[in-house]
Amino acid sequence: MRHEVTEGHMLIGNRQQPVAMMAPPSAERIAMPRGVVPRQPARTGRQDRVRQVRVKPPVSASRKATATHGPQTSGTARPATKASIKGKIRGYNPLAPERVAEILKRLDQLYPDVTCALTHASAWELLVATILSAQSTDVNVNRVTPELFRKYPTVEAFAALTPEQLEPDVRSTGFFRNKSKSVVGAARKIVADFGGQVPDDMDKLLTLPGVARKTANVVLGTWFKKAEGVVVDTHVHRISRRLELTTENDPQKIEQDLMKVIPREKWILFSHQIIWHGRKICYARKPKCVDCPLENLCHAGDKTWSTVDMHKNAKA
- Catalytic member of 179, 214, 257, 303: 214
C-alpha dist (Å) from residue 9 to 1, 14, 36, 168, 191: 16, 12, 38, 132, 145
Q: What are phi and psi of 258, to 5 degrees?
A: -70, -35
8 Å CB contact between 151 and 172: no
Q: How far apart are CA 237 and CA 227, in angstroms?
A: 18
Helix (H) or strand (E) holding 211: none
Question: Three-class SS of residue 268?
Answer: helix
For 90-99, the CB contacts below 8 A with 24+ separation are 94/243, 94/244, 94/245, 94/299, 94/314, 95/244, 95/245, 95/261, 99/297
Distance CA 16, CA 3 (A): 9
CA-CA distances (angstroms) from residue 162 to 38, 137, 287, 302?
98, 25, 42, 46
Amino acid at 133: S
> Residue 201 catalytic?
no
Spot the catalytic one: 233, 257, 302, 303: 233
Q: Is 214 a catalytic residue?
A: yes
Positions marked catalytic: 214, 233
